[in-house]
A and B are shown apart, each in its own frame.
Chain A
Amino acid sequence: MLKNRYIIVLFAFMLLVLSACGKSETNDAAAKEKKVEPKAAPTEMILATTTSTQDSGLLDVLIPMFEKQNNVKVKTIAVGTGQALEMGTKGEADALLVHAPAAEKAVVDAGDAINYKRVMYNDFILVGPKENPAGVSGDDIAAAFKKLAVAKATFVSRGDDSGTNKKELGIWALDNIKPEGNWYVSTGQGMGQTLQVAAEKKGYVLTDRATWLAQEKNLDTLKIVVEGGKDLMNIYHVMQVNPEKHDKINSKDAEKFVEIMVDPKTQDVIENFGKKDYGQSLFYKYTE
């Protein structure tokens, strides 16, 4: 009697597990459009990209398009640009979509990345507390940074070797300033979290416009203080990992991915993205 009940519960458990496996398969089958012809198993491609392209939602639009057209399953790994480039150098990814031109150049020159194409741009902005105690404004970001350093105003940095972090450090370098001290807060985290920290501490932070627009509603102690200016341009490039340097690279799909990213139709999709929700483009076309 007792044993039977034990066994029944155990059975139920196992059925749960097995049906869970079955269920997700039928979900997948239902989610794909009704395909009458049996298709070949999709190939897999690893795309290393930045958190800004994923958090903005742009990839949620572009990747499914690409997957359907080419029968490929894309594993999108969103990490900081530094880590993405490192993954490319080690051959752990097939294609890269990142935004740190100086660092990218080093990787291309070393022969680790090929088929290097410019894709899109948006801009960085400096946001700060609504009271703006340091009184920065205008479009000269280097001058603004200098003012902040002199005033020792709380500045919150990504500190994670991401594209945004590299941009920020580049601007400090323009001023020949090495930022350190209690006023310089390094979070080591993504843009969203870094913005939260800045909102809490009422500090200044460099962010890309797309993440700002998406999170503005949660950051009511902050506002844009510096924008425009050529030093604030945020340029994205796409590239393939060099298949000759590592084995197991899926260069066929990676090449197609690069082609599609610079294709005029995709470029239109990119520029239209976000217009509905934010009244402006989050990314602008920028092929060569």
Chain B
Amino acid sequence: MELLIDGLKKAFEMIFSGDPEVFEITWLTLKVCLISILFSTLLGLPLGILLGLTRFRGRKLLLLFINMGMGLPPVVAGLWITMFLWRSGPLGGWSLLYSPTAIVMAQVLVSLPIIISLTCSAFQQINDKMLLQIKALGATKWQTLVILVKQSKIAILAAVMAGFGRVIAEVGAAMMVGGNIQGDTRILTTSIVMEVSKGNFDIALALSFILLTVALLITAILTFLQQRKRFS
């Protein structure tokens, strides 16, 4: 119990003393996670909508693989990306191993299936009659899309939040492809693991409080956007 209080005290100390390393780690975490979720959303939303609204041969099989991807263990994603980014690997020439870009790659790999799959479910559920009605009212394809996205706002934001949750929790892959390098690829989650292995439980707890706060803030913004009443 006192360990928890120590951790909380340490968290306030670290934030208000303006400890530069804590800020660096937190900024890096925010940067990497927000960029990852942005990429995942920009790629995943259109793909999910496409998958949800169209029908073609092999669609169910594709959906199967994407759903499997939702359960892809991040550490497995990390291992595969490491092998690709090794100097001896196919992408070795880009020297991306142990850089924030590698962490973004791993995070996009695990969050993309979540966004595609949940968006696809949301759009597949749209009542056929509604599609017909929109068509009957003379909407163009683009207008239809905009209306459907507005209708599915709640499900879409839920998908983004699920993806973000996955991404902010990333530790195994981030450790493997990032290397936990100070000032470069050390993010909150990998720092927590490192401080635990050093025996600094108070610092680890403090960092965990900071991480939870960051996650809470972003999720709060997304939830607020999701739950806002529509104007009409």
Complex contacts, B179 vs chain A, CB 8 Å: 75-77
How many chain-A residues does the 8 Å CB contact rule pick out? Answer: 42
Known: A17-B38, A24-B27, A46-B98. A214 touches B88 (CB 8 A): no
Chain A, range 217-272, C-beta contacts under 8 Å to B = 217-219, 246-248
Min CB distance, A122 to chain B, in Å?
17
Chain A residues touching B, majority SS: helix
A246 to B86, CA, bound (A): 12
A76 to B194, CA, bound (A): 14
Chain A, range 104-149, C-beta contacts under 8 Å to B = none
Q: Looking at the complex, which one of B24, B31, B88 makes contact with A92 (CB distance below 8 Å)? A: B88
Contact-residue bracket for chain B:
20 to 34
Residue of A nearest to B232 (CB): A2
The reply to whether the CB of A91 lies closer than 8 angstroms to some CB of chain B is yes
Contact yes or no, A195 B199, CB < 8 A: yes
Contact yes or no, A246 B88, CB < 8 A: yes
Contact yes or no, A192 B199, CB < 8 A: yes
Chain B residues touching A, majority SS: helix
Q: Which of A20, A28, A46, A78 has the most CB of B within 10 A?
A: A20
A219 to B201, CA, bound (A): 12
The reply to whether the CB of B1 lies closer than 8 angstroms to some CB of chain A is no
Contact yes or no, B31 A20, CB < 8 A: yes
A6 to B231, CA, bound (A): 12
Contact yes or no, B34 A20, CB < 8 A: yes
Contact yes or no, B27 A20, CB < 8 A: yes
A215 to B198, CA, bound (A): 7
The digit string for A12-44, where 1 denotes a CB below 8 A from any CB of B, is 011011001101100110010000000000001
| Given A28-B183, A75-B179, 7 extra CB contacts under 8 A | A44-B95, A55-B197, A75-B184, A76-B181, A92-B87, A192-B197, A195-B199
